[in-house]
Structure 1
Amino acid sequence: MTGNDKSLELHGSLWLTVGGERFGGEQRIALLASIAECGSISQAAKAIGMSYKAAWDAIDSMNNLAGEALVERLAGGKGGGGTRLTSRGAQLVANFRAIEEEHRRFVEQLGRQADDYLLLRRISMKTSARNQFLGTVTRVQIGAVNDEVELAIAGDQRLVAIVTRESCESLGLRPGVQVYALVKSSSVILLADDEPVRVSARNQLSGTVVRVLPGAVNAEVVLELPGGAHLAAVVTQASCDALQLAPGRRVMAIFKASSVILALPA
């Protein structure tokens, strides 16, 4: 992601319920913990930014839902009365903190798995196109009938697609939008990378052959592009032999912008 991108983070809140009624969450537990520390409802409420009335309303609600007192008053003396947690109230605070820590760890673990979930969603996309690239739209040149859409893919590579004006609008294509670029392997032409040649095809990607699957008529050639992406091309076996295509060979893969199909992630 670029420096201007803001990644999404997973967060979650923990709440307790009793008999289907909302008992409380972080703020109410914080009130109980503050009472244990301050020994005073008013001071505890002030410490957590809660009004005195709201604090008592919360305490009354928690006492009722718990079926027993969580907070109790102390008898007045020379220094005046005060408030403290009952043993049940203190236990509730301790248990909530322990559960809260486990919940925090769970959310962190789930957040780490979020990227894998998105990856699995991408992998599960079904299409007949052999080549699938996830890219971000960097430019859209609007035309009368067709639009030219430029994408940035892994390895600082660029792809160009020609789509109809209607398709561009229906997909909501604009800079920053993520899309899939689909290219059939039969649409890819391979050229020797060490032989300069001028071609009209807008997409020209340089890569290294990593795998060749020979056949009686055609051969499938898989290239590794900068950034680790792979691109497959189906060429005649005669062309494969003429270009001496084998693992380690540097070649140029070219295909027309009209051969690129764009699709939005699910």
Structure 2
Amino acid sequence: MTEKSAHQPGDTLEVGGSVWLRSGAETLGGAARIALLAAIRETGSITGAAKAVGMSYKAAWDAIDAMNNLAGEPLVVRASGGKGGGGTTLTPAALRLIDTFRAIERAHRAFLQQAGAAIEGFAENWQLIGRIGMRTSARNQLAGKVATVTRGTVNDEVQLALPGGQTVVAVVTHESTEALGLVPGRDAVALIKASWVMLMTDDRARLSARNQLEGTVVRVTRGAVNAEVSLSIDDSTTVTAIVTNESVDTLALAPGQHAVAVFKASSVILGAGFGG
């Protein structure tokens, strides 16, 4: 028996594609994340919005954290309970983002229709362009501006200023500094895996780790062995760490508690926008 090919010679090729908004080198959001924002606007609830777009509550919060971090300002604001019952609202920046995305999406569809009809081989080449794109698995993607670049004998120390005033320090090679065009004022993104982040509750402790970001615990999600702890560093920046459940209990980590995210400068990967 022969397997039928997904594409038959007589089939008509159609041009496809999707719109993604980017912040520097990282993806801020695509159709799914914009749909989540729109659903939050309609429902006034993270739970209701997640259900409306077919997303888990945790996945919705992860997407919101990522968008806030990369936007450099709050997009989603969760109000505490009270006379009005609290709820979740979008900032003016988020509302503009939805409108901008919808307008770009309409123009994008029109462009694909015109290009597909006018350019020979456009469909195959467009698919290849999409495959070339790369995403990162780093849980923490913190957007900021390069504050200082200190030249060393072999490596450079780069300080990235976050929106809330705290800084992230990375140690990179001279070649990386030059290749990424890292100079003061340049937009960049710090990538840190959640497993590289340690947490402490006493900010008076002396540690050799160069990065010590103070914040407030906003979520603790327990697993069988480890827990995912999210720390709000400022209004738009969240850092997530993966620690053991035992550590959560020992440090008494719970929402509202002050804590410090600790990670080495050598654990930070920097990214900068292409052609920017």
TM-score, normalization by structure 2: 0.51
Q: What is residue 220 of structure 1 aligned with on the other side?
A: 228
1-structure distance, mates of 2:135, 2:166: 24
One-letter amino acid of the structure 2 residue matched with residue 242 of structure 1: T
Q: What is residue 191 of structure 1 aligned with on the other side?
A: 200
Q: What is residue 37 of structure 2 aligned with on the other side?
A: none
Q: 1:143 aligns with which of 152, 155, 173?
A: 152
- Give the drift of 1:190: 0.2
Which 4+ runs in 1 deviate beyond 4 A?
Answer: 112-117
Q: What whole-Å deviation, never above 9, does each CA across 1:31-54 have from its counterpart, x for those lacking one?
A: xxxxxxxxxxxxxxxxxxxxxxxx
8 Å Cα contact 1:134-1:181 kept in structure 2? yes
Do structure 1's residue 231 and structure 2's residue 242 form an aligned pair? no
- Give the drift of 1:136: 0.6
2-structure distance, mates of 1:127, 1:179: 15
- Give the drift of 1:149: 0.3
1-structure distance, mates of 2:236, 2:158: 23
Q: What whole-Å deviation, never above 9, does each CA across 1:64-86 have from its counterpart, x for those lacking one?
A: xxxxxxxxxxxxxxxxxxxxxxx
- Give the drift of 1:148: 0.3
8 Å Cα contact 1:138-1:152 kept in structure 2? yes
1-structure distance, mates of 2:148, 2:258: 29
2-structure distance, mates of 1:255, 1:114: 34
- Give the drift of 1:113: 5.7
* Partner SS for 2:164: helix
* Higher RCO, Cα 8 Å, sep 6+: 2
How do residues 34-183 of structure 1 correspond to structure 2 at under 5 angstroms?
126-183=135-192
One-letter amino acid of the structure 1 residue matched with residue 222 of structure 2: P
1-structure distance, mates of 2:222, 2:168: 28
Change (3 A) 1:206 1:116: farther
RMSD: 2.3
Gaps of 5+ in 1: 1-111
Change (3 A) 1:156 1:144: same
- Give the drift of 1:114: 10
Change (3 A) 1:246 1:115: same
2-structure distance, mates of 1:219, 1:177: 35
Q: What is residue 268 of structure 2 aligned with on the other side?
A: 260
Gaps of 5+ in 2: 1-95, 105-132
How high is the sequence identity, in percent, across the aligned residues? 54
- Give the drift of 1:217: 1.2
2-structure distance, mates of 1:189, 1:125: 27
- Give the drift of 1:227: 3.0
* Partner SS for 1:166: helix
8 Å Cα contact 1:220-1:234 kept in structure 2? yes
One-letter amino acid of the structure 2 residue matched with residue 186 of structure 1: S
2-structure distance, mates of 1:147, 1:116: 38
Count of residues paired in the alignment: 149
TM-score, normalization by structure 1: 0.52
2-structure distance, mates of 1:212, 1:233: 10
Look at both structures and tell me which one has the larger radius of gyration over its CA atoms: 1
8 Å Cα contact 1:156-1:227 kept in structure 2? no
1-structure distance, mates of 2:137, 2:270: 13
Q: What is residue 205 of structure 1 aligned with on the other side?
A: 213
